Structure 1
Amino acid sequence: MSKRQKQIHLAAHFPGVNNTTVWSDPAAGSHIEFSSFAHFAKTAERAKFDFLFLAEGLRLREQGGKIYDLDVVGRPDTFTVLAALAAVTDRLGLTGTINSTFNEPYEVARQFASLDHLSGGRSAWNVVTSWDAFTGENFRRGGFLPQEERYSRAEEFLTTANELFDSWYGDEILADQATGTFLRDAKAGAFVHRGRHFDIHGRFNVPRSPQGRPVIFQAGDSDEGREFAASSADAIFSRYATLKEGQAFYTDVKARLAKYGRAHDQLLILPAATFVLGDTDEEAAELAREVRRAQVSGATALKHLEFVWNRDLSSYDPDGPLPDIDPNVSAEHISRGRAQVRMYRDPLAIAREWRELAAANKWSIRDLVIETGNRQNFVGAPATVARTINEFVQADAGDGFILVPHITPGGLDVFADKVVPLLQEQGVFRADYEGTTLRDHLGLTHPDEARTDRVAS
C-alpha cells in the first residue's frame, strides 16, 4: 500500500528588510505604496496560498553609520499594512513579525485580536526577539538583551499575551457572540499576571476573536529557539532549504514535541525559499546567476566581509583580492550584537578557508561573497521546480515553503501561473480554500477545542 502524499503548504514573503529583492530591475516596484502590497497579496490568494508574511525592520540596516546600498529605505508599520490587506482579501492568512523585546504584551495582544476580528480569523504572529544594539537605541530600553534573556522574555511575553486572549473565555461568556452579547457578569477581560518580566493586571478590552488566538510562528534556529517553537508555536520558519539540512532540522524539531505533550502535526515546519523560473532549466540557471550578481553589489560584498574581519574594509576593491590581514578578534564586534556574529564563531578559520577558495578559483571579494552566500533554492523550468518542491515535502525536509521572490511586487505572479497548477495536478496542493480561517488552511485546531471548560449554551 503506497503512502498517502502530504499536502504542501505554500506562503509568500513580501521582501523588504533584506537585499533579496533586485531593486535595479525595471520590473521592480515600490515597497511602500499600498498597491504593491495589494498586488502581492491578491496574487498569493489567487494561487490559494496559506498566508502572506511580512517581516519587520525596526531600524534600517547600517554599518559604520551608513545604510546598506541594497537595503530597504523605510518600511510601513506591519499592523497597518495587514489591516489594510484584510479589506482586499477574503481567505489569505495575514502573518506579521512583531518583536517581543521592544513591545508590551497588552498592546500586541490587542492589535492581533483586533486584526483577527477585522480579517475574519486570518491573523498570525511571528514572535521574534531582538539582538540588535542599534535597534535598541530606537527604544526607551536601549541596548540589546543577551540570548538567554531574550528567550526568557519572549516565553513570558507569549504566555502573558495568551492569558489576555483567553481572558474573554469562560463559563460566564455566552456562546453566541454573533448577537453582540458576551457577558453574564463583569468577569470578561479580567487578567492578572505576576512574573519576572511582566507584572500587570486589568481588563482586556477586545472580545474573543474568531481564531481564539492568532496562529503563532517562531523563527529562531538556536537550541533555545527550537525549544520555544516545540513548546509554544504552531509553525516554525526554517532557513534550511536544502534536502539534507532540511531533513535534519525537521527531525530535530519534531522530536522535541513529545516532551510538551504535542503531536507530530501540531507544529508545521516551513523553510523560506527563493526561486528563479525559466522556460528551460538552462535558461533559469543563467537567470539565477544574473539575479545573484544583482543582489550582491560591491558595497554589499565589502559589508559582508566586514562581519568576519571585524574591520573597516571600505578601502579595499570589491573586485580585487581578499584582505591579507587577519580578522580582528579582540575588539568589540562592529555589528554590535547582530545575527551574523553567530554565523562565524571562528573568524580566523573562516578567513583562511575563504582565502584558499578565492585563490583556487581566482575569485575577487565580490565573487567570493556571491559564490559562498545563499543561492536560489529552486531554479528551473516550472515542471522542475514543482517536482523538486514536492520531493522535498514528501521527504520531510519541510511541510511546505515560504516563497521569497526577487522582484516586488510582481515576482510571485509567474509562480502562481506556472508552478501552482502543476502542484494541483499532482494532487499535493489545494484547488480551492476549504475553510475561512488561517487555522483551517494550516490544519490546526481551534484553541477552544482542547479546553474542558466549554462556554455556556
Structure 2
Amino acid sequence: MTDRPLKQIHLAAHFPGVNNTTVWTDPAAGSQIAFESFRHLAATAERGRFDFLFLAEGLRLREVKGRIHDLDVLGRPESITVLGALAAVTTHLGLAATVNATFNEPYELARRFASLDHLSGGRAAWNVVTSSDAFTGENFRRGGYLDRADRYTRAAEFVQLAREFWDAAGTGTVRHQGPQFDVEGTLSVPRPPQGHPVVIQAGDSDEGREFAAATADVIFSRHSTLAAGQAFHTDVKRRLAAYGRKPDELKIMPGVTWVLGDTEEEAVERAAEIRRAQVSPATAIAYLEQIWGVDLSGHDVDGPLPGTDPVRGSGLVQGRTSLGDPLEIAAEWRAVAAAKGLSSRELVIEVTGRQSFIGTPRSVAEQIDRHVQSDAADGFILVPHLTPGGLDEFVDRVVPLLQERGVFRTEYTGTTLRDHLGLPVPGRR
C-alpha cells in the first residue's frame, strides 16, 4: 500500500438463483420466486447503501442423466421483469440484470434496458453473458449454431450496436453493417438517463479480459484470494490504456461469500457446517458426474474419487458451464484429494467453494478493506447462503465497521448507478 487516499469500497448483493450456494434445507430459506423475497433482499441492500442488486439468469434448466437437476426445478422469473418491479420499491439501489448476447437482438435489448433506466431514474445495469451451448440453443430458432470462438465477437458487436441505439435515441437513425448485424432503425424510447446503462461482464479467459477492458464498466470476477485478485486486477487494468480508458473507469468486483461468528472459532465452525449443507451427497454426485461423464449414482461420496478415467463428451450432464478437459481436472482433483486426505464429497466442497470472508464482524471488515486497499479488488458482490434474509447480518454487523473505517459511504451522494460507481456519463458518439 502507498500514501494515497483510502479507496472507497464498492459493494453489491447477488440474489442466488438455481445453485448449490443457497442452503435450501435451512428453515430460514424462503422462496426464490415470490416477489417478497426480491423486495426483502433489495431493501436490505439499499439500507446498507450498496451500489446495486445483481440477478444471474439461465436460459434453460440443467439436466443430469436426462432429468432436470433437482436444484433447478423451480427456475426463476426473468430478470428485467423482476427489476422493473423493484424499481418501484427502491430509490437508489442499482438494478443489474443478466441478459444473453447470443440469444437476443441489440434493438430489443437496448429498448428494454433504456426502459428500465428511465423507470428507475438511472439505475439500470446489464450483465453481458454469452453462450456457445447447443443444449441452450435448442430453445431458440437459431439453435446452437454459434461456435465458441465467435461468442465474444458477436458480444462485442452486440454491445457496440446497443450503445449506438442509446446514443441515437431521439436524434436519428442507426445504420449499422457488421459481421454479425445489419440494422437500420430508431430506438422508440428517449436516451437513457445514464447515457448508457452500466455494463457488467464476467468472462475470465484472455478474450474475456480483453472484451471487458474494451467494453465493460464492472467485472464480476471469481479471483477473490488476495494474491489471485492482485494478479487479475493488475492484468485487466493494464489493458485499459489500449482503449483510451483510465484504471478507475473499470471496477473489479469478485463474487464472495462470508460467514460471521462472535469469535473466530465459531465462524470457522459455522462455515464448515454451511459448506456441508451446500454440498449434499446428491449434489456431490451430480458434480462428479459433470466431470466423469458416467452414471455415479452408486458411488460412495464418503470414499475416494472414482478410480476410472472420465469419458469425454458423453452428454450425461447438459447445461452446465464447461470446467475444462475432464481428464486433466480428474488428475488435479486426485492430487488434491491425496495431498489433503479428502473423500469425494470433501473434494467437491474444496474445489467448489467460492472464497469466503470468515471471522468476527470486525475481522471480516478488516479482510475486505485489506483486499481493496491492496488492489486485489475495487469491491465485492456478496452472495448470501440464505434467501432472502442472508444479507441482513452483514448489513447490520459489518457495514457499520466499514463506515467507521472511512472506506464505505454512510449515505448515497448521487441518484444513479454511475454516481455510486464513480463512472462518467458517456457523451453521444
The alignment's TM-score, normalised by the length of structure 1, stands at 0.90
Match of 2:174 in 1: 191
Structure 1 CA distance for aligned equivalents of residues 75 and 95 of structure 2 = 21
When structure 1 is superposed on structure 2, of 23-32 and 130-139 the one drifting more is 130-139
Residues 383, 71 of structure 1: alpha-carbon distance in 2 compared, 3 angstrom cutoff: farther
Match of 1:407 in 2: 386
The 8 Å contact of residues 15 and 54 in structure 1, kept in 2 or not, is answered as yes
The 8 Å contact of residues 70 and 295 in structure 1, kept in 2 or not, is answered as no
Structure 2 CA distance for aligned equivalents of residues 294 and 128 of structure 1 = 29
Letter in 2 for 1:368: L
- The equivalent position to 2:259 in structure 1, one of 259, 267, 276, is 276
Letter in 1 for 2:5: R
Match of 2:163 in 1: 162
After TM superposition, give the deviation of residue 298 of structure 1 in Å. Answer: 1.3
Match of 1:226 in 2: 209
- The equivalent position to 1:341 in structure 2, one of 323, 326, 343, is 323
Pairing 1:308–2:309 present? no
After TM superposition, give the deviation of residue 158 of structure 1 in Å. Answer: 0.6
After TM superposition, give the deviation of residue 376 of structure 1 in Å. Answer: 4.5
Residues 348, 424 of structure 1: alpha-carbon distance in 2 compared, 3 angstrom cutoff: same
The 8 Å contact of residues 285 and 380 in structure 1, kept in 2 or not, is answered as yes
Match of 1:371 in 2: 350
Query: Which ranges of structure 1 fall in alignment gaps of 5 or more residues?
Result: 170-187
Pairing 1:385–2:367 present? no
Structure 2 CA distance for aligned equivalents of residues 65 and 337 of structure 1 = 11
* Partner SS, residue 201 of structure 1: strand
Letter in 1 for 2:79: T
Match of 1:439 in 2: 418
Letter in 2 for 1:415: F
Match of 2:98 in 1: 97
After TM superposition, give the deviation of residue 262 of structure 1 in Å. Answer: 0.7
Match of 1:38 in 2: 39
After TM superposition, give the deviation of residue 310 of structure 1 in Å. Answer: 2.3
**1:260-315 Cα shifts (integer Å, max 9, x gaps):** 11111111111001111111111111111111011111121112112222222223
The 8 Å contact of residues 18 and 71 in structure 2, kept in 1 or not, is answered as no
Letter in 1 for 2:415: T
What is the correspondence of 1:47-446 to structure 2 with a 5 Å cutoff? 47-71=48-72, 73-143=74-144, 145-168=146-169, 188-329=171-312, 331-332=313-314, 334-335=316-317, 338-342=320-324, 345=325, 347-359=326-338, 361-446=340-425
* Partner SS, residue 256 of structure 1: helix
Residues 233, 353 of structure 1: alpha-carbon distance in 2 compared, 3 angstrom cutoff: closer
Residues 370, 268 of structure 1: alpha-carbon distance in 2 compared, 3 angstrom cutoff: same
Larger Rg, first or second structure (1 or 2): 1
Residues 105, 394 of structure 1: alpha-carbon distance in 2 compared, 3 angstrom cutoff: same
Residues 99, 312 of structure 1: alpha-carbon distance in 2 compared, 3 angstrom cutoff: same
The 8 Å contact of residues 103 and 140 in structure 2, kept in 1 or not, is answered as yes
* Partner SS, residue 14 of structure 2: strand
Residues 315, 83 of structure 1: alpha-carbon distance in 2 compared, 3 angstrom cutoff: same
After TM superposition, give the deviation of residue 357 of structure 1 in Å. Answer: 4.3
Identical positions, percent: 65
Structure 1 CA distance for aligned equivalents of residues 197 and 391 of structure 2 = 25
